[in-house]
């Protein structure tokens, strides 16, 4: 089974595909979708949509894990990211990809055993679990891989996480 992981963003959106076979996961693809600041807002959203559609068509994931948003102090940025996230959710829906929405706490819990784990710990666990063959350039890629790995965990475990966090 292929699992698509998404770390939502507007300027840079993390994307990863992991292949899960029984208890083994491997990284098939990871990258960032970057949008050009000089383009209109709707054109940037179109870029996100087209790139996600390409990834879905190429790797045919049966499941997508996407991180929910944490609102920070910059509400304008949060709204832009929310719109990009909506485009990604739309592409999953029209492609028939099941969606798991996971909070950052749930992803950290699944990756490190502690919902308030540090970003460095998540990176270390990603490196241990999948041993990436390519150099991962951005934190957004790590976050997308971690989301996919968390969604690939046992569904009973995921259900328990959703209830407790």
Closest CA to 160 of 119, 96, 102: 102
Enzyme catalytic residues: 7, 67, 140
Tell me the β-bridge partners of 100: 65
List of residues 6+ apart from 73 with CB closer than 8 A: none
- How does 48-70 read in b/e, with b if 16+ C-beta sit within 10 Å? bbebbbebbeebebebbbbbeee
Name the strands in the sheet holding 24-34, side by side, starting at the edge strand that comes first in the sequence.
Answer: 24-34, 12-21, 2-7, 63-67, 98-102
Cβ atoms 90, 49 nearer than 8 A? yes
Q: How many helices (H) and strands (E) does the chain have?
A: 6, 5
Residue 22 is given by DSSP the state T
């Amino acid at each position: 089974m292929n699992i698509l992981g998404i770390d939502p963003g507007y300027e840079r959106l993390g994307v990863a595909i992991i292949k899960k076979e029984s208890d083994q996961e491997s990284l098939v693809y990871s990258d960032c979708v970057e949008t050009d600041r000089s383009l209109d807002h709707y054109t940037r959203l179109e870029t996100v949509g087209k790139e996600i559609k390409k990834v879905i068509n190429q790797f045919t994931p049966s499941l997508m894990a996407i991180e929910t948003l944490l609102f920070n102090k910059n509400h304008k940025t949060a709204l832009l990211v929310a719109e990009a996230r909506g485009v990604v959710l739309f592409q999953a829906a029209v492609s028939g990809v099941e969606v798991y929405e996971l909070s950052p706490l749930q992803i950290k819990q699944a990756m490190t055993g502690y919902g308030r784990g540090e970003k460095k710990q998540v990176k270390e666990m990603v490196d241990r679990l999948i041993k990436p063959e390519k150099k991962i350039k951005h934190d957004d890629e790590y976050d997308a891989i971690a989301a996919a790995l968390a969604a690939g965990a046992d569904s009973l475990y995921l259900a328990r996480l959703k209830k407790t966090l």
